Amino acid sequence: MVTLHADEAAARSDANVDFDAIIIGAGVAGLYQLYRLRELGLRVQVFETGSSLGGTWYWNRYPGARFDSESWTYGYSFSKELLEEWNWDEHFSAQPHTEQYLNYVADKFDLRRNIQFNSRVISAHWHEAERHWDVELESGEHHTARFLVTAVGVLSAAVMPNIPGMESFTGISCHTHRWPKEDINVVGKRVGIIGTGATAVQTIQTIAKSVGHLTIFQRTPNWCFPLNNSKISSEEMADIKARYPEILARCLETPSCYVHGPDPRKAVEVTADEREAFWEKLYRTPGFGQWQGNFSDVLIDREANKLASEFAARKIRERVKDPAVAEKLIPKNHGFGTRRIPLETGYYEVYNQSNVELVDINETPIERITEKGIQTSDLEREFDVIIYATGFDSITGAFERIDIRGVNGVKLKEEWKNGPETYLGVFASGFPNMLMAMGPHGGLSNYTRTAEYGVEWITDVIKFAVERDLTRIDATPSAVAEWTNHVDELGQGLLMNEVGSWMTGVNRNVEGKQAPRIMRYSGGHPAYRAHCDAVAAEGYTNLAMS
């Protein structure tokens, strides 16, 4: 990366705008975007809703929140010094340590001076004559910038369910995403939790150790697999540091940028013994081996997927003592791996505790939240604490919570009402100079690995424009149509895209988000990078620049 000389950059800075670039969000992508754009010599400002940085790792401080990606594949790779200095304490780091890491990064690279906290962006409007974005904060403040980079996250728009009476509950209630810094004391308490996604699984297995009584309200069980986490000794950390080049290279060659990549064999072609032995091995493998490192046909071929589901169901039956409870915990409406698998540590054993109850709300639906607890069709249960682990309006939700308007005041939310349409997941046609870091239909996988690439690509295109005094970049409608079709085609035939989950943009609590859509690029990150690299090498000919 070539840095513009400071004088040269200053000469190009436009006095008519407050900033050369505004970044929305100080999470993993936003922090790195700030670092890179500042390195170009641009005047950059980040606006962040939270009172501190970290995005996902700032907000999600619910009990047991931790990585499901290997810690040492999640850190930034742009600085050798940083890789050398930082010691991960566990193979799957817990939220407090990860938050500490991101703060360490911010301090090391002096990022805070360009971040304004407690500053929710409520609107961003493009002004054609001035060729700038006008960004409005909740406080009423306005700021203008030539470029707008959205680093708003993929799972940041938390959603509460629509259950009558929620406001009447007199105990403590909280969405996991809004867990307070001062914590909620659940020790000895009667706790009810709604949801059984990855967040709920981590919460449940953690609080079950200390609550008085726990009731889990489940609508859809998920296929959960062991995380197999462990501490990292200083000798092991030294070894990881020595192997960083190899580890990072490995992440770049797998489809989702984990160390786990698919096994070329097919489940339906190997013998039953071979299959079983492989799956038993994966069951003991830390992290996403079972999901990302499985036989190559498991997420495509219905028969292979059925076999993998049967293996997973057997594991649940082995671990849960009461057969009726085990059956409730086995997914029936989707096959193994077709939703993001939660990784767990003793999750299924929680259901063997005498103070834990599983309520299948398909049998006894929740009717309302009462002053004292939760009323299902059969009875009212009283709680001291209700936890809503009810997930997010994923991928496009965070965009839709900002009033983003492009050329002629066209609303992004309106443009995307039938699903997102982007060029490379970075541009939306008619929204000039808006670049999406980790936008829909882009290269979303192991987050930091893929965000780093996305941010670098965005930095290069901005640099290209700035060096040529180009003040307007937009994707052509045909480029957007072509990319959207390409992403749709790639997504056909993947079992995952048939199932409702955050990965297909489904949230039953949000109007218009009931049916699965293709929301993610599914050609694998190496192919995504090859495509984006080629676009850059050809001089961004699919972009209209002036």
Residues that bind ligand NAP in the complex, under the rule CB under 6 A: 66-68, 155, 161, 194-200, 202, 217, 219-220, 340, 361, 389-392, 502, 508-509
- Say how many C-beta atoms besides its own lie within 10 A of residue 469's C-beta: 7
> Judged by CB, which is closer to ligand NAP: 190, or 520?
520
> Judged by CB, which is closer to ligand NAP: 341, or 435?
341
Shortest Å, Cβ 390 to ligand NAP: 4
Q: 244-253 vs 234-242: helix axis angle to the nearest 10?
A: 60
> Judged by CB, which is closer to ligand NAP: 70, or 301?
70
Residue 18, sorted as left (phi over 0), alpha (psi -120 to 50) or beta, turns out to be: alpha
356-360 and 44-47 as β-strands: parallel, antiparallel, unpaired? unpaired
Tell me if residue 123 falls in helix, strand or coil: strand
For residue 517, the one-letter residue type is R
Shortest Å, Cβ 45 to ligand NAP: 28
How far is it, in rounded angstroms, from Cα 416 to Cα 161?
Answer: 23
How far is it, in rounded angstroms, from Cα 517 to Cα 503?
Answer: 9
- Residue tagged 């424009």 (tokens): 465
Identify whether the C-beta of residue 282 lies closer than 8 Å to the C-beta of residue 343: no
Shortest Å, Cβ 479 to ligand NAP: 29
> Judged by CB, which is closer to ligand NAP: 17, or 227?
227
Shortest Å, Cβ 77 to ligand NAP: 19
Shortest Å, Cβ 164 to ligand NAP: 11
Shortest Å, Cβ 196 to ligand NAP: 4
How far is it, in rounded angstroms, from Cα 518 to Cα 516?
Answer: 7
> Judged by CB, which is closer to ligand NAP: 376, or 459?
376
The CA R_g of the chain, rounded to the nearest whole Å, is 24
Shortest Å, Cβ 276 to ligand NAP: 27
> Judged by CB, which is closer to ligand NAP: 199, or 504?
199
Residue nearest to ligand NAP (CB): 197
Q: Give the containing element (helix H, strand E) for 384.
A: none
- Beta strand spans in 263-318 (E): none
Q: Give the containing element (helix H, strand E) for 89.
A: none
- Residue tagged 């070539």 (tokens): 2
Tell me the backbone φ, ψ of residue 529, rounded to 5 degrees. Answer: -65, -40
> Judged by CB, which is closer to ligand NAP: 66, or 441?
66
Shortest Å, Cβ 527 to ligand NAP: 22
Shortest Å, Cβ 440 to ligand NAP: 15
> Judged by CB, which is closer to ligand NAP: 261, or 397?
397
> Judged by CB, which is closer to ligand NAP: 76, or 431?
76
> Judged by CB, which is closer to ligand NAP: 56, or 305?
56
Sequence-ordered alpha helix ranges (H) in 403-476: 412-415, 447-467
Shortest Å, Cβ 97 to ligand NAP: 13
Write the secondary structure of 62-85 as one string of H (helix), E (strand) and C (coil): CCCCECCCCHHHHCCCCCHHHHHH
Tell me the backbone φ, ψ of residue 430, rounded to 5 degrees. Answer: 90, 5
How far is it, in rounded angstroms, from Cα 104 to Cα 93?
Answer: 15
